[in-house]
Chains A and B, each alone.
Chain A
Amino acid sequence: MSNFFLYLTSILLIMAGLAAILYKRNLIKIVIALNILEAGVNLLFITLGYRPGGTAPIFTMAPELEGLSMVLPTPQALILTNIVIGFATTALMLTFAVLTHRHNDTMDIRNLRGVESND
């Protein structure tokens, strides 16, 4: 039952982040939305990687595999990596946002195209 709420939370986080990415117009808000999306993905991954009642896979001798459920540390390591990468991404994107604001005096992506008309 508790898993159900975890799934629900992660799906809601992903959807909220995605909706904000699709519709928010401010450079900083888009970065925040990306962080929400990543938090949702991380939560989903951790929940899916967990086996209820599983043990940690630390054995001196290889055990019988039938009926044994293990929680491998790999997904948790992956999520740890993703958190670090997300930090790097956020820092880089905020730097870009600051520089963009410095050059163009606006944070609104409607005024920031970077494209001239082709005519």
Chain B
Amino acid sequence: MIEHLPILAITVPLFAAFLLPIIEKAHFRARNAAALLAILSVNVMVVLLALRLSREGAPLVYVLGAQSPAQILPQGLDFPIRIMLKIDGFSIFMALTSAVVVLVSYVYSMKYVPEDPRKNYYTILLMLMLVGMLGLEFTNDLFNFFVFLEILSISSSALVSYSYNRKFSPYAGYKYMMISAVATSFLLIGIAFFYSQYGSFNIEYLHGVIRFTLLDKIALIFMVVPLAMKAGAIPMHMWVPDAYSEAPAPVTAALVSASQASLYGVFRLSFSLFGNPVSDVTLNYHTLGWIIIVLGVLSMFVGVTMALVQHDVKRLMAYHAISQTGYMLLGVGVGVVVYMDPGGAAYAAFGRDAMMGGIFHIMNHAFYKGLLFLTSGVMVLRFGTRDLNKMMGMAHRDTFTTLCFIAGALAISGVPPFNGFASKILIYESVYRFSPILAIIAMFVSVLTLASFLKVFYGAFLGPRNEDIIVIDEPLPATVTAAMGVFCFLVLAMGLFPGEVLKYLVEPAVAGLVPGR
């Protein structure tokens, strides 16, 4: 049983999702309990996998359809044919992030999304998103990578337009689906170029035999750029605020995690497929790193300046998602630039730290941005609008939400003792040793981030108590409060004990990404 955990983590939510409508015939509470149980069990499985990974030290390989899950090569052949799952530190890091975020957003939406016949579809789609993310992160096979990416994009675009009676909700879903469909078509062109040369879809095998021809580089561009678009990197980020702002709040929290899964794809393909070169003829890591850095800095700056002038609360937060993606790209980009330096002294001195900061920021961002989007859901519930000008005085009635918002806002601006500080200080310090001006830009962007959240705090939470503009005056359901509490706890705990998270999760993640150094 324990050796089949990698595939069980994907199949359990997949089958549970389609069992839910049958269970709902008994009672909708039974369906809620079953869905919660399935998502919880996925979390437990991922944690068990993480423990097993840290015990064994080597990446876990699971071969589907073989006599034993560890048999990679079929008899008599010297290349793998069967579908493989490979779980290293980076996969488990991302899987943990996705599983926790989906669990919390499901708990939030149990009462937040009203109970009607469509709630079945909501639950199914949310669980399919979990399946897509986990499959994307566990697979070692480009075929499955593509299939899970499509599962992820179809389910999330259907969820974006879940409240389809709103004016622009279906169009937001249309945009997201369009972008995903074109991105995956481009990805397929890249996969075709690889297959035509090496006759395999297996990432590990391709990594061993790759010859870095011109066609390989073109294929890499066709695979990485569309994934970067789905992750919301500049200059292909414009869909992010449109899609995020129209989705219901718990879906937006899960969408952040879905975007991070696409970012996982970018890193996985450019490092595990292309990186750690075995020959002299390879990618120019210096140029590649600088491209990533420039894109990261532009993402940070444009995202935060656009956020500063928004007065739609969810659009404002969505622009911050772009801005924070810039930090991840900056950290990883600095690591890439110094990766191929002779001797590896620069990489050991600060490149690895920069990379750790960038990777750590992925998890931190998923948690604090999830928390912020959940609080924005409470604002929308109370005032019936996303316009900050029409809100005031929420601190008088929802004290816990206010505290959660303060925690999230301080975490995103990198104020101790919240988790944003832990990863941002790693990025600042290591980037400062690489190039001081970049670190100064990063700090300036953090200041602007705090300023724009001050605007939300001023608009929605401060001011006199006004009962006339409140749409729904009931106390918050316990599940909503519990979901925000979990995120708040995680944000605080990861900020107070960053050393443990770095040691047990982030260092194996970086080791899984760049095993060479």
Interface residues, chain A, with chain B CB atoms under 8 Å away: 14, 21, 27, 30, 34, 37-38, 41, 44-45, 48-49, 61-62, 65, 72, 74-75, 77-78, 81-82, 85-86, 88-89, 92-93, 95-97, 99-100, 103-104, 112, 114-116, 118
Contact = CB atoms under 8 A, between A and B. Distances in A.
B77 interface: yes
Contacts of B168: 103-104, 112, 114
A105 to B, nearest CB: 11
B178 interface: yes
Contacts of A96: 161, 170-171, 173-174, 177
B78 to A, nearest CB: 8
Contacts of A95: 170
A49 B182 contact: no
A118 to B, nearest CB: 5
A43 to B, nearest CB: 10
B6 to A, nearest CB: 21
Contacts of A85: 147, 150, 154, 184
B182 A37 contact: yes
The 4 closest A-B pairs by CB, nearest first: A62-B76, A99-B170, A48-B196, A96-B174
A72 B172 CA distance: 40
B24 interface: no
B178 A93 contact: yes
B199 interface: yes
Given A44-B189, A85-B150, A92-B157, 10 more contacts: A21-B182, A30-B178, A81-B147, A89-B177, A95-B170, A96-B171, A99-B169, A100-B171, A112-B171, A114-B242
Nearest to A91: B154
Contact of A93 (B177, B201, B242, B312): B177
A62 B75 contact: yes
Interface string B146-170: 1100100010011001001011111
Given A30-B178, A92-B157, A92-B177, A41 B185 contact: yes
A37 B192 contact: no
B192 A44 contact: yes
Contacts of B75: 62
B246 interface: yes
Contacts of B246: 114
A116 B312 contact: yes
A81 B144 CA distance: 10
B181 interface: yes
Contacts of A104: 167-168, 171
Contacts of B177: 89, 92-93, 96
Contacts of B150: 85, 89
B192 A74 contact: no
B310 interface: yes
Nearest to B187: A41
B164 A99 contact: yes
Contacts of B28: none
Contacts of A48: 192-193, 195-196
B103 to A, nearest CB: 26
A34 B181 contact: yes
Nearest to A48: B196
B171 A49 contact: no
Contact of A41 (B76, B143, B158, B188): B188
B143 A78 contact: yes
B178 A74 contact: no
* Residue among B143, B181, B195, B196 with max Cβ neighbours from chain A (10 Å): B181
Contact of B185 (A27, A38, A72, A112): A38
B77 A45 contact: no
A35 B311 CA distance: 37
B26 interface: no
B309 interface: yes
Nearest to A34: B181
A104 B157 CA distance: 20
Interface string B172-210: 111101100110110011011101100101000000000
A106 B185 CA distance: 28
Contacts of A103: 166-168, 170
Contacts of A86: 181
A113 to B, nearest CB: 8
Contacts of B77: 62, 65
Contacts of B193: 48
A49 B195 contact: yes
Contacts of A44: 189, 192
A34 B182 contact: yes
B29 to A, nearest CB: 30
Contacts of A45: 188, 191-192, 195
A91 to B, nearest CB: 10
Contacts of A81: 143, 146-147
